[in-house]
Amino acid sequence: MIDLQQRSIEIIKGWQFDGAYAACLSFSQYGYSWLRDGAWIAHGMAAVGQTASARAFYQWGARTLWRYRAKVDSLLAKLARGEALLESDYLPTRFKLDGDINQDDWPNFQLDGYGAWLWGLVQFVQAHDDQALWAETRPAVRLTVEYLAALWQSPNYDSWEEHRDHVHPSTLAALYGGFRAVESQEAGIVPAGLADLIRDFVLTRAVAPAGHVMKYLGNEAVDANLLWLAVPYRLLELDDPRFQATLTKIERDIHRPGGGVYRYRKDTYYGGGEWLLLTLWLAWVYLERRQPERARPLFAWAEAQATPTGEMPEQVGDHVLDPSMVDYWINRWGTSASPLLWSHGMYLLLKSKLKD
């Protein structure tokens, strides 16, 4: 039987270039490095002792972000003058592996990855007492905080590159978690009270009458990315009634009994399949709630979706939400992404936690 942990490490290392993790080189649209995906891949790699790989990713992120400091300065200057921003003014959600920005029409104005990068970097620095890495990345951290502090209330694409005109609690949770992490390392970098302001915004604007947090402001459905509210970003604690209500609705609406977790109920991307990384995320929530008996079946399901050669896909299509949309995406971009490095990163993370 294949050692899926070792195979995951091999796949991730094989698609890491000068620190950058390619999301999925075998899929036409994913031959780039996302800060969000990369932060979770790095976190998973560090959890199983692959610290050199994780450290290289954070170094690459810092180099790449610092490279575009003039772009951030220009954006901040336009805001100060009261000028409207263009889509091209924003930093992208994905970079080429050499740090270049691709000049295409991808849905780029997306903030959650920047919060995830901050959070993951600080976790690594503190877990390994790597003050040299902090000194090296600190200028890019400052730049990223300035960028996010100016834009956090702006509607932007969610973590799935959708809904540009809305504000997403999962994105705000990533920013909150990133800011809190930076504060714990060096408080003066983050404007005083900013994290609290973000939390208050979510709790006053994004809680549905039924008590759960919304997919986005004005949409009372749930999205699996709302698990991030508590794990890991702690905008809400696990025992907060608002998170408990959100978790209950996720379990009811988008977790297939005996199977995996969908992104959201109206998902049509490749028909809307069950996502491995989100299934593993729900397992992580259960572990944090001291419910390993609920986490292990989810982990086992995700593990069972690996191919015989140990490749973990983005999603599986056995029980899609909208079968009519499967061929549309295959005809447009080819078959669904596999292996997806984010799936492998989350597998490594949960594998390490189930050993604890």
Is 83 tagged catalytic?
Answer: no
Structure tokens at 59: 């170094």
List pLDDT tens digits, range 131-140.
Answer: 999 999 999 9
Cβ neighbors of 197 (< 8 A, separation 6 or more) are none
- Which DSSP letter does residue 2 get? -
In angstroms and rounded to an integer, the radius of gyration of the C-alpha atoms of the chain is 19
Query: What is the pLDDT at residue 107?
Result: 81
Q: What is the mean pLDDT of the chain?
A: 97
Cα–Cα dist 270/266, whole Å: 12
- Using 50, 70 and 90 to split pLDDT, how confident is the model at 3? very high
Q: Whose structure tokens read 């903030």? A: 111
Cis bond upstream, residue 257 (ω within 30):
no
Residue 188: name the closest of 201, 200, 179 by CA.
179
- Using 50, 70 and 90 to split pLDDT, how confident is the model at 1? confident
List pLDDT tens digits, range 198-238.
Answer: 999 999 999 999 999 999 999 999 999 999 999 999 999 99
Is 158 tagged catalytic?
Answer: yes
Please give the distance of CA 75 from its chain centroid, rounded to a whole number. 24
Q: Looking at the DSSP assignment, which residues form a beta bridge with residue 33?
A: 95
Q: What percent of the chain has pLDDT over 90?
A: 97
Does residue 356 register a pLDDT over 80?
A: no
Please give the distance of CA 215 from its chain centroid, rounded to a whole number. 15
**Residue tagged active-site, from 158, 223, 267, 274:** 158
- The DSSP annotation for 284-328 comes to HHHHHTT-HHHHHHHHHHHHHTS-TT-PPPSEE-TT-S-GGGHHH
The number of CA neighbours under 13 Å toward the Cβ of 55 is: 15
CB of 260 within 8 A of CB of 275? yes
CB of 158 within 8 A of CB of 171? yes
Domains of the chain: 4-252 (1.50.10.10)
- Using 50, 70 and 90 to split pLDDT, how confident is the model at 110? very high
Residue 114: name the closest of 180, 189, 41, 34 by CA.
34
**Residue tagged active-site, from 223, 274, 311, 314:** 314
Number of residues written out for the chain: 356
**Residue tagged active-site, from 89, 130, 161, 162:** 161
Query: What is the pLDDT at residue 30?
Result: 97
Query: What is the pLDDT at residue 15?
Result: 98
Is 314 tagged catalytic?
Answer: yes
Does residue 6 register a pLDDT over 90?
A: yes
Cα–Cα dist 236/254, whole Å: 20
Q: What is the mean pLDDT of residues 324-345?
A: 97
Does residue 267 register a pLDDT over 80?
A: yes
- The DSSP annotation for 153-192 comes to TS----TTS--TTS--HHHHHHHHHHHHHHHHH-GGGSPT
For residue 172, which amino acid is it? L
Does residue 161 register a pLDDT over 90?
A: yes
Query: What is the pLDDT at residue 336?
Result: 96
Cα–Cα dist 100/102, whole Å: 6
Q: What is the mean pLDDT of residues 79-91?
A: 96
